[in-house]
Structure 1
Amino acid sequence: MTEDSGIVIVQLLALFLSSFFWGIYLITFVQSIRCLLWDSKGIRKSASTISWPMLVVAVLLALFPAFDVALGLTQNIEAIKSFASPINGSASQLPSALTNWTIMLKTCNGVVGTLISDGAWVYRCWVVYNRRWLIIALPMFLWLSYLSLSIYVICVEVQSVHGNLFPLFRASALQFDPMIISGFSVSLFNNFLTHGLIVHRIRQVDKETSLYTTGSHYTRDPIHTFSGQTRKRTRLQNVILVIIESGLLYTTTALISFSTFLADSLSFYATSSMEIQVLSIAFNLVIIRNARPNDDVQLSTGGYHPNPTFPLRNLATAEDAAEVSSKNEARWSGEKP
């Protein structure tokens, strides 16, 4: 199999994978919008209870998977035209990644999608820690670093396609691969960092609130231990599990895509197309799986505290659960939330 035919086969595989995961994404998108705008009883939420930042991000992330599929279809149509040409019937006319507007747009599509998703996780981290800017100083620095690297890479690609559009980037093509590797590394580390900070905070809040609550705050999901005993998992423990699983879903896909790029493999076309789909799916799964089937669940506190209960209504996102718990923790200790 020649390199030209290999490119065409990989492009077809990329279109198949992106279309397959786009179908899965559409299902999760509809469910996430339902969870954000309606409660479990089908009643429309009031404007004050809707998580507007998460709704905006969910809608924005809906654009990138669809655009990626459209660009993949365009690439395959161009490949078929190249083969069908009676004069130059060869896939060698397919431009490389640095000289093709379609692939450049796919790069921009993936970069902007990653920026929005990473920014949403930084926002969640900020909210979970009661809007303390010092906590997100490093994640925000990493996010801005990824933004700078992305602008640099996009300018290099545009320069390679359109001659003298950006004179400052004329001799920067040799540094293209290191910039992409740096961008991948920064984004992956920022994901690990923000997920870890959020999990740590929610776990801390869960331990502290367990001192003031009775058994009514447990969910119906039992945990089976090695000794054969069962214990029930709290709501916030479920939130932690959801965040870890969704984070692993995306980071595993991103690591696979990163590995194929480092190996200089043609399969990078397929894995990168799959990555933007999985990124949006993982974001929606956090919203869906943290939406409680019962919106009237309450936590009961001990008899020594003046505020015996607080409702866990409309907690469609992980940061809401931690924020409500931390505010009530401050209330129990006599502080102002």
Structure 2
Amino acid sequence: MSDAAFPITVAQIVALFMESIFYGIYLVTLGHCLKALLCKKDKFIFKSRRDIKWIMVIVAFLMATFATLDVAFGLRHNLDAFIYYTGPGGATAEFGNITYWVNVMKTVDYIAQTAIGDGMLIYRLYIIYNKSWKMVVLPLMLWVTTTVCGSGIAWVEVTTKHSALLNESSITPWIDSFLSFTLVVNLFVTSLIIGKLWRVRERIVGSSSNPDKWIRVMRIILDSGLMYTLSVVIFFATSIAGNNAQYGVSDVVVQIIGITFNLIIIRVNSASIMSSGIQYPSTVIVPNSGGGIPLRNVNKGHVTTSTFAISTEVGVDVEVVRSTDGDSESKDNGSWKRDYGTDAV
């Protein structure tokens, strides 16, 4: 579809409509997310301060702020173009004023929301790899590069002296670079997380009665990024094509970033990712709210049972514990730890 078939005036109205729909979805997920973070499970009773994951709460409120501002700026821009602007060129000229503060602020919103979303993904990688800085050095460098490219988009918009849209030749290199690095960060970090989970599953597959429960954990990680990644791919495609559909897609991405974050917290806190009462003959998974997660041998003379659970702090935070009989503990101790080391999932 060419720009003539999809002019900027139509694109902006459609963009506001699309974003409003996803903003409604976002508000629903935000309510459930805050309930999961601030209230006890299945109750409207606030948790104690020490039990609240304040990092997650702060991130949720920041995402809510940028998501709301983006909708508000979109509404303001449409009102300015179709109602308040009376100059030459009409609404088309108003939307083409790329230096207008509403245009710039919508770009800043998108960049900030993306930085928060990608930053949380890297934070999960850091925790899952037992707070290993060497695992996040490259992702952090890519994250900084992405933010710099995003800042370049805003700078070009502010300094451009003539009428232009997002398909302006001076802006598209920054947009394409920004989206490319965003995709690289998401695909690279998600692959590392899934690889870690898969290795843990392979290690316990022989001793667990239900190793496929690890598939659920991997699905949570994949599901959390799939919708976001696909939306960025679509945005990238419309940007390369120079199509005005990129306005609607980019506005939707701002909401999708918040939705995916909320869904992780909701699913972690819900029964959909918990298998209560699952019996594990020799290997169990138990909650652990700490950072590092050591493997340790327990001597109880019987098989331990537990609940498959995931911490709401990072989305996936579990501990692998092996139960052994008393007469075999000394023989098994050490080899288990040597083979598996420390797995922060």
2:217 corresponds to which of 229, 235, 239: 239
**Structure 1 residue 300 displacement after superposition:** 4.3
Count of aligned residue pairs for this structure pair? 306
1:325 paired residue among 315, 319, 326: 319
In structure 2, the CA distance between the partners of 1:174 and 1:285, relative to structure 1 (3 Å rule), is: same
2:150 matched residue in structure 1: 150
In structure 1, list runs of 5 or more residues that go unmatched. Answer: 163-172, 219-232
For residues 319 and 201 of structure 1, what CA distance do their matches in structure 2 show? Answer: 14
Q: 1:300 to 1:326 in 2, by over 3 A?
A: closer
Match of 1:99 in 2: 99
How far did residue 275 of structure 1 move?
A: 1.0
Partner of 1:56: 58
Return the offset for 1:237.
2.1
AA matched with 2:312 = A
Q: 1: CA distance between counterparts of 2:240 and 2:267?
A: 34
- The secondary structure found in structure 1 opposite 2:312 is coil
Match of 2:177 in 1: 182
Q: Does 1:8 align with 2:1?
A: no
- State the shift of 1:253 in Å: 0.8
Aligned-residue CA RMSD (Å): 3.3
Structure 2 residue 277 is the aligned partner of structure 1 residue 275:
no
Equivalent of residue 228 in structure 2, options 250, 253, 258: 250
Q: 1:254 to 1:45 in 2, by over 3 A?
A: same
**2: CA distance between counterparts of 1:255 and 1:314?**
30
Name 1:41's counterpart in structure 2: 42
1:145-195 Cα deviation digits (max 9, x unpaired): 112222222222222369xxxxxxxxxx96432122111100111011111
1:325 aligns to what SS in structure 2?
strand
Instruction: Give the fraction of aligned pairs with identical amino acids, expressed as a percent.
Output: 28
Q: Which amino acid aligns with 1:325?
A: E
Q: Work out the CA distance in 1 between the residues paired with 2:207 and 2:70.
A: 49
Whichever residue aligns with residue 180 of structure 2, its letter is S
CA contact (8 A) 1:104 1:158 kept: yes
* Superposition deviation, residue 111 in structure 1: 0.5
Give 1:32's aligned amino acid: C
**Distance change (3 Å), C-alpha of 1:315 and 1:82:** same
The corresponding residue for 2:330 is: none
- What one-letter code is carried by the residue in structure 1 that aligns with 2:58? V
CA-CA distance at 1:107 after TM superposition: 0.6
| Cα 1:94–1:280 shift into 2, 3 Å | same
Deviation string for 1:9-67 (max 9, x for gaps)?
11110110010000000011111111222343325434344333222211211112111
Q: What is the CA–CA distance in structure 1 between the aligned matches of 2:144 and 2:55, rounded to whole Å?
A: 19
Residue number in structure 2 paired with 1:224:
none
CA distance in structure 2 between the aligned counterparts of 1:80 and 1:273, rounded to whole angstroms: 19
1:101-120 residue pairs with structure 2 within 5 A?
101-120=101-120
- Give matches, 1:246-325, under 5 Å: 246-293=224-271, 300=280, 302=282, 305-306=298-299, 308=304, 315-316=311-312, 319-321=315-317, 324-325=318-319
Q: Which of 53, 68, 71 is matched with 1:69 structurally? A: 71
Q: Any gaps of 5 or more consecutive residues in structure 2?
A: 163-167, 284-296, 324-332
Whole-Å separation in 1 of the counterparts to 2:28 and 2:279: 32
CA-CA distance at 1:110 after TM superposition? 0.2
Between 130-139 and 95-104, report the one with greater CA deviation.
Answer: 95-104
2:139 aligned partner, one-letter code: P
- Equivalent residue for 1:135? 135
Shift of 1:264: 0.8
Instruction: Assess if the C-alpha contact under 8 Å between 2:282 and 2:322 holds in 1.
Output: no
Matches within 5 A, 1:164-183: 175-183=170-178
Matched letter for residue 247 of structure 1: G
**Distance of aligned partners of 1:114 and 1:331 in 2 relative to their CA distance in 1, 3 Å threshold:** farther
State the alpha-carbon separation in 2 of the partners of residues 151 and 2 from structure 1. Answer: 26
- Residues in 2 aligned to 1:120 and 1:145: alpha-carbon distance in whole angstroms: 16
**Counterpart Cα distance in 2 of 1:291 and 1:187:** 28
2:276, 2:95 → 1: CA distance?
A: 58
CA distance in 1, matches of 2:236, 2:322: 42
Counterpart of 2:187?
A: 192
Q: Secondary structure at the match of 1:98?
A: coil
Separation (CA, whole Å) in 2 of partners of 1:306 and 1:60: 46
In structure 2, relative to structure 1, the CA distance for the partners of 1:138 and 1:5 (3 Å cut) is: closer
Aligned-partner SS, 1:62: helix
TM superposition shift of 1:309: 5.4
Distance in 2, matches of 1:285 and 1:122, equals 17
Q: CA deviation at 1:332?
A: 9.4
Q: Is the 8 A contact 1:101 1:161 kept in 2?
A: no
Alpha carbons of structure 1 residues 159 and 7: separation in structure 2 relative to 1, 3 Å: same
Q: TM-score normalized by structure 1?
A: 0.79
